[in-house]
Amino acid sequence: MLTLPEIGLYFSFLLFLVGLAGVMFRKNILFMMVSVEILLNAANLAFVSASKITGTIDGQVVMFFVMAVAACEAAVGLALIIALYRTKASIEADDLKALRG
Amino acid sequence: MEGTVGVVTQFLDSNIGLVAALGKIALALVIALQVAPIMVWVERRQAAFIQRRIGPNRVGLFGFKLFGLGQPLADTIKLLFKEDFVPKQANKFFYILAPIVTAVIGLVAIQGIPLAKEIVVGGHTINMQPVNLNAGFLYLFAMSALGVYGVALAGWSSNNKYALLGGLRASAQMISYEIAMGLALLPMVFIYGTLDLQTMIAAQSDSLLFGVLPNWGIFLSPISFVIFVITMFAETNRLPFDLAEGEAELVAGFLVEYGSMRWSLFFLGEYAMMFTLSALTTCVFLGGYEIPWLSQTELVALLTPIFSAEPATWVASLIGLTVLLAKTAIFMFLFVQARFTLPRFRYDQLMRVGWVYLLPLALVNVVVLALIVGIMRLT
Amino acid sequence: MQMDLNFIAFVVMGLAATILSGVMITRRWPVSAAMVLIAVMTLLAGMFGLLEAHFAAAAQIIVYAGAIMVVFVFVMMLLNLPPEELRYGGVTWGEMVLISLGVLVAIVLGTQVGQGLLTQGLESMGYAPGQTPAHAKSLYFAADENVKNVAATMFVDYLWAFELVSFLILAAVIGSIVIAKKRSAENANAA
């Protein structure tokens, strides 16, 4: 708890816990995607804090790649939600059980 | 009395960073808040002259007509006394939040503009740019990217199909033209080698072509200038790109459920964003706060014999601020002129211009200028 | 633990981000959750700025809060979904085991053990343990030019990753357009 980036690591852990709770306790797919964005942001905060602790710049570079991957995942996930809504008109995770054997 | 003056100066001396930051933010806020009333008056008078009318010229102050300069004051007083309502079917929290978001983003974005070079107060040099990140003008892009939300929220929270359509179309238009805006400014980053606006302005004080032209960005990369001005119109939802507030089409679009002070908060945000983008254009393309062919250090050196060393920087900064406001006024004039001269784009034409014409042109511009700058740096 | 303005601002922003994200996962309307998430991301951008990662802060607002969340907000506003309640019912045993395992790993990594693993072999970069450098250094430019350092490292050390991520973005763009396209009658027959 001494310096700023170490507190950043602790906050990233707390944010990750919150995002995890969001993914587990919501059954609406949109809310799950939004909680996944919180998880990715917590990881980004951890990367940038680590970059400040060690004094290297690689943490910030990796953070950009995480951001780019998060953007792709959000775009494709939302396209899937739109397609899903068009066919089934429900986006609750519990209702998507057509493949259940 | 002596003791308190000494204590105050010592406090200022040790906390000069904080005090200077607060002072600069206050100055930028004052400028931003004064832009809206002045622009209201300018817009109505200029529209009138374009349309061969006279416009408001009766409301003055203290019994003098003053060309109708009191009109914005009268408008504000009227809007303050109008009934403040929230429609019954609207989502109350977001309905109240949307104009606040627009106004606040406009006021926050203006903090990234360099108002002058620097002033020297009591031995401390203060850079006259309120927000000076290492990422330079990316701060201004970030704020204009956040400006989308005010429009989208306003459209959605009014619970009105016209408003929703207008808000979503405006948001789609703003994010489409942001790409071309960023790509248009990218060659200027190649040419000047930095993202920092103060360094860009300092690099524009040389001369080009054996002293005929100043070293302004508009002469170094005119295509970037043209693309940036076009996208500037699209980012602020001004004609010819104002489908969102299209008066004849969508019944004032996303603003249809807003009245009185909430409506004027939207326009405060819109005019502040117009001013911010115009000021960014002058900083990158027209040399910012500097008088052409005369760099700021030469100006300070000229003024030092008249005033002493420190007040010379204050006078130079004042001159710089005046020059910046004058150059920005050119673009504000251009905004109003375009509004009452050009017809409005249809929505599919607007999207086609953004994606099919401007984006490839900006990309080709980036590639060509990257090649030119790279070859010039190698030789 | 110097109590200067940076420190207080960082702790306040971090607490606000955590509390707001907790608020966000308990919203009923999707649009409210999206707006709270935008606030969380802006706070995180502020924290990046306080950690001297200026380019990361600007990119967080431009990309995350200004583009990704706009797509979320569009979809939520256009689909016009009704609100829904939280899932009631307990956490299963498997979930409990996994979460406690994760907490254990986080505690182990977050204390001195993790610190030692994180900073092994960095003496060549001039790292002095227990002391936070003012700016993140790299081998290319001076320490306080954040944008130049990030750009140089990305295009020299991480060039392969950069090109592969650009392919990924291209695939995602094409994929999302294809998935979300309306299937008209002749399209469905041709596909």
Reported ipTM: 0.89
Provide the pLDDT for residue B236.
87
Model confidence pLDDT, tens digit, residues B92-117: 888 888 889 999 999 999 998 988 88
Q: Does residue A97 form part of some domain? A: no
CATH: 1.10.3720.10, 3.30.360.10, 3.90.1150.10, 1.20.120.1200. Which one for C1-87?
1.20.120.1200
Residue A4 has its nearest CB partner, among C50, C125, C173, at: C50
The pLDDT of residue B243 is: 76
Q: What is the CATH number of the domain that holds A47?
A: 1.10.287.3510
Decide which of B4 and C69 is more confident.
C69
Least confident of A50-54, B35-39, B323-327: A50-54
* pLDDT exceeds 80 at position B140: yes
How close is the nearest chain A Cα to the Cα of C85, in Å?
Answer: 8
Predicted pLDDT at B223 = 93
Tell me which of A11-20, B197-206, C118-127, C140-149 is least confident: C118-127
What's the length of chain C? 191
If one compares B205 and C59, the residue with the highest pLDDT of the two is: C59
Cβ-proximal residues to B42 (8 Å cutoff; 6+ apart), any chain: B332, B333, B336
Predicted local confidence at residue C26, as pLDDT: 83
Res A40: pLDDT: 95
The whole-angstrom distance between A99's CA and the closest CA on chain C is 19
Report, as an integer, the average pLDDT of C49-61.
91
d(CA B75, CA B87): 23
Please indicate, yes or no, if residue B28 is contained in any of the structural domains. Answer: no
**Residue B134 to residue C54, Cβ atoms within 8 A:** yes
Query: Do A60 and C34 make contact, defined as CB atoms within 8 angstroms?
Result: no
User: Of all residues in chain A, what percent carry a pLDDT higher than 90?
Assistant: 37
Residues of C in contact with A57 (CB under 8 A): 136-138, 149-150, 153
Q: Looking at residues A86-95, what average pLDDT do you find?
A: 72
3-state secondary structure chain B: CHHHHHHHHHHHHHCHHHHHHHHHHHHHHHHHHHHHHHHHHHHHHHHHHHCCCCCCCCCCECCECHHHCCHHHHHHHHHHHCCCCCCCCCCHHHHHHHHHHHHHHHHHHHHHCCCCCEEEECCEEEECCCCCCCCCCHHHHHHHHHCHHHHHHHHHHCCCHHHHHHHHHHHHHHHHHHHHHHHHHHHHHHHHCCCCHHHHHHHCCCEECCCCEECCHHHHCHHHHHHHHHHHHHHCCCCCCCHHHCCCCCCCHHHCCCCHHHHHHHHHHHHHHHHHHHHHHHHHHCCCCCCCCCCHHHHHHHHCCCCCHHHHHHHHHHHHHHHHHHHHHHHHHHHHHHHCCCCCCCHHHHHHHHHHHHHHHHHHHHHHHHHHHHHHHHC
Mean pLDDT over each residue of chain B, to the nearest integer: 84
Q: Residue C45's closest chain A neighbor by CA?
A: A45
Q: Which of A44-48, B134-138, B217-221 has the largest mean confidence?
A: A44-48
Does any CB of chain C come closer than 8 Å to the CB of residue B316? Answer: no
Verify whether the Cβ–Cβ distance B175 to C61 is below 8 Å.
Answer: no
- With 80 as the cut, is the pLDDT of residue B276 above it? yes
A28: containing domain: 4-92
Would residue A61 count as lying in a domain? yes
Structural domain includes residue A81: yes
pLDDT value of residue A20: 87
Cβ within 8 Å, pair B145-C35: no
pLDDT mean over B121-147: 83
Q: State residue C191's pLDDT score.
A: 45
Residue C170, pLDDT score: 95
Q: Give contacts of C 60-89 with B, CB under 8 A.
A: 61-62, 65-67, 70, 73-74, 77-78
The answer to whether B and A touch (≥3 CB pairs < 8 Å) is no
- With CB atoms and an 8 Å threshold, state whether B145 touches C67: yes
> B221: how many CB neighbours lie within 10 A of its CB?
25
Does residue B155 belong to any structural domain of this protein? yes
Instruction: Name the minimum distance, in Å, from the CA of C28 to any CA of chain B.
Output: 13
Q: What is the pLDDT of residue C31?
A: 86
User: In terms of CA atoms, which chain A residue is nearest residue C62?
Assistant: A67
**Inter-chain contact C77–B172, Cβ cutoff 8 Å?**
no
Residue C123, pLDDT > 70, answer: no
| Low-confidence winner among A52-61, B84-93, B204-213, B235-244 (lowest mean pLDDT) | B204-213
| C-beta contacts of C149-158 below 8 A and 24+ residues apart | C149/A57, C150/A57, C150/A60, C150/A61, C150/A64, C150/C55, C150/C56, C153/A57, C153/A58, C153/A61, C154/A61, C154/A64, C157/A58, C157/A61, C158/A61, C158/A65
Most confident of B224-228, B340-344, C116-120: B224-228
Q: How far is A43 from chain C (nearest CA, A)?
A: 11
Q: Is-above-0.90 flag for pTM? A: no
Reported as a single tens digit per residue, the pLDDT across B127-139 is: 888 888 888 789 9
Residue A89, pLDDT score? 65
Instruction: Tell me the mean pLDDT in the region B325-344.
Output: 90
**Across C134-154, average pLDDT:** 75
Higher pLDDT, B325 or B6: B325
In chain C, the percentage of residues whose pLDDT exceeds 70 is 72
Of A64, A79, A82, the CB nearest to C59: A64
Those of residues 112-151 in B touching chain C at CB distance below 8 A are: 133-136, 138-139, 141-143, 145-146, 148-149
Whether residue A16 lies inside any domain: the answer is yes
In a domain, B176, yes or no: yes
Q: What is the pLDDT of residues C80-90, one digit of tens each?
A: 777 766 665 55
**Predicted pLDDT of residue B84:** 77
Contact C147 B134 (CB under 8 A): yes
Chain A environment of C119 (Cβ under 8 Å): 53-54
- Judged by CB atoms closer than 8 Å, whether chains meet at B175 and C70 is answered as yes
Domain map of chain C by residue range? 1-87
| Domain assignment of residue B5, yes or no | no
- Please, which chains are in contact with A (at least 3 CB pairs closer than 8 A)? C
Residue C188 has pLDDT above 60, yes or no: no
Whether C169 contacts chain B with CB within 8 A: no
Chain mean pLDDT for chain A = 85
Domain containing B103 equals 89-378
Work out the average pLDDT over C75-82: 80
Q: Does A76 touch chain C (CB under 8 A)?
A: yes
Is the peptide bond preceding residue B240 cis, with omega within 30 degrees of 0? Answer: yes
> Which of A72-81, B187-196, C113-122 has maximum average pLDDT?
A72-81
Q: To the nearest whole percent, how much of chain B has pLDDT over 70?
A: 94
Between C110, C125, C175, which is nearest A55 by CB? Answer: C125
Structural domains of chain B, count = 1
| Number of independent structural domains in chain A | 1
Specify if A100 maps to a domain: no
Instruction: Name the residue with higher pLDDT: B246 or B160.
Output: B160
Output the average pLDDT for chain C.
Answer: 80
Contacts of B336 (CB under 8 A, 6+ apart): B39, B42, B43, B46, B47
